[in-house]
Amino acid sequence: MRRQRFWFALALHAGLLPLALLWLAPLWLMVVFATHPEQEIFRVPVPLLPGDAFMENWASLQADTNFLRALANSVVVSGLYTLGGLLLSALAGYALAVYEFRFKALVFSFIVATLTIPYFVVVIPQYILVARDLKLTNTYWGVILPFLANALGVFYMRQVFLSLPSSLLDAARVDGAGEGRIFFQIALPLVRPSLAALALILFLNAWNDYLWPLLILSQKDMYTAPVALGTLIGLTRVSWGGIMVGSALMTVPFLVLFLFLQRYFVAGITAGAVKE
Amino acid sequence: MYLSFLNTRVYPWRLEAGVNWGRLLQDPFFWIALKNTLFILLVQVPLMLALALLLALALNSALLRAKGFFRFAFFAPVVVGAVAYSAVFRLLFNTEFGAVNALLRALGHPGYDWLYAPGPAMAVIVIALTWRWTGYNAIILLAGLQSIPKELYEAAELDGAGPWQRFWHVTLPGIRPVLLFALVLSIIGTLQLFTEPFLITGGGPGNATMTLGVYLYQQGFRSFNFGYASAIAYTVALLAALFSFLQMRLWRER
């Protein structure tokens, strides 16, 4: 029995290790390519260790796209979206979990139902509304506004607030705290880890979103990082070193973050998946 | 929905029921896009979910060492944006200089014209999607596996069930809801597939990797024919609803 287990464990690792390395290869090569001049990237065999042309590649990327501005745009958009999305999700989730009101079940099932609608059905009316009627093309608000009300976020925060003991909130009420104070000073701090998980997911979604900013932004200095990068990829003559620097800059910070905060990422992703 | 009945080729937009839906039925490009999308759906999604399930089982195994490393390796693509990895995959699958063909040549194979031949281009899309989303699905399945009570396995073992039987009668039923969730998500995601074909192959060569998502973008935001694009969008929605419904039905009967 014990022998059998040993061989099984060995086979498990022998099967999984090459697969894991294969999975990491694109990410590793992205970093490697970001640090090599173009002729090195296209050399055969492919370089496997980082080189020293990072600054060169960065300079060419910056010249092609004003990537610094694009990164700044991305930070502003993703940051505002995360803060706004968190606040709205928390408020709505809290209301649905704690208060009783008319049509509550209806409102909740309506919110959950929107989760099942494919985004493509929404995108055209949303574009017409935001671009034609609200005239928000080339603005931060145009990018952020449609996503502020996040059904998944509301659903997630509702589940989180449901797990808070209601006696705690009642106790605060007896002590004379207002509803706003209860929410901000008691309920929110108690669910901080869940807020962190949601924040990570929201930020990442906004950070990586491509289609919507592509549609709504047409001025180069309003581009977010993915859109700026995307304009380069479609061209026939491209500076691959620069593109790889951009990809790496967009990705590596999150990989590092992911390494340390895996638990929160995973919590955020599975939040919608595991329902009782 | 209203929009899909409008003729947005004239100004001001006119209500002309049938103009877009009629065109949809006769449009060869639409059928190509639909066929490609369904192909990815039927090939890539089962492949990926099977792999994700194997991964989740392996990562959940008590015998596995260095769990942190393996988790990081497979889950890392979750944080990578579609644009960044599309760029990397385009470079890796470059016909002359790409790492993949270099590797194939080292193994004595002449390599493929990945991005400019129809079959290989589709293969790149499938590989890229599998790389990006397997870990994501494995996370979901892993969470499902961990929610199965240990006692069930102990009870099954006491009853003399072998590993295979335990998998079939304890594990699979235990993760059924989560598996269904992952399946539905993957199907909806695939039906809306846009960024990868748009950036890796541009829908080409020819229309070999054109998906409904890319076609919708072209019609809606290149030709600004919003009415027709809406009709495509609703085809996607109807398909998504149909597949989800079928899944639920099939699942319940078993």
pLDDT: is B23 or A95 the higher one? A95
Here the tokens at position B235 are: 């085809």
Nearest CA in chain A to B79: A254
Residues of chain B found within 8 Å of residue A117, distances taken between Cβ atoms: 237
| Mean predicted confidence (pLDDT) in B213-236 | 81
Q: Mean pLDDT in chain B?
A: 80
pLDDT for res A275: 46
Shortest distance, CA A215 to any CA of chain B (angstroms): 8
Residue B237 in contact with partner chain A when CB distance is under 8 A: yes
Closest to A69 in 3D by CA, of A247, A232, A220, A237:
A220
Q: Is the pLDDT of residue A35 over 70?
A: yes
Shortest distance, CA A169 to any CA of chain B (angstroms): 30
Shortest distance, CA A172 to any CA of chain B (angstroms): 34
Shortest distance, CA A256 to any CA of chain B (angstroms): 10
pLDDT band at B178 (very low <50, low <70, confident <90, very high): confident
3-state secondary structure of A116: coil
H or E segment and range at residue B7: strand B6-7
Q: What is the dihedral of CA A109, A111, A112, A116, to 10 degrees?
A: 120
| Mean predicted confidence (pLDDT) in B150-174 | 81
The whole-angstrom separation of Cα B133 and Cα B84 is: 14
pLDDT for res B51: 92
3-state secondary structure of B233: helix
A41–B97: do the CB atoms touch at under 8 Å? Answer: yes
Q: Is the pLDDT of residue A276 over 60?
A: no
Q: How many CA atoms lie within 13 A of B128 on its CB side?
A: 33
Q: Is the pLDDT of residue B187 over 70?
A: yes
pLDDT band at B67 (very low <50, low <70, confident <90, very high): confident
B195–A12: do the CB atoms touch at under 8 Å? Answer: no
Residue B145 in contact with partner chain A when CB distance is under 8 A: no
Amino acid of residue A55? M
- The 10s digit of each residue's pLDDT in B96-113 is 777 787 788 878 777 777
Q: Mean pLDDT in chain A?
A: 81
| Mean predicted confidence (pLDDT) in B226-235 | 81
3-state secondary structure of A48: coil
CB nearest to A120's CB, from B58, B99, B236: B236
Here the tokens at position B172 are: 């699979």
The proportion of chain A whose per-residue pLDDT surpasses 70, expressed as a percent, equals 92
State the pTM of this model: 0.81
CB nearest to B82's CB, from A125, A210, A246: A210
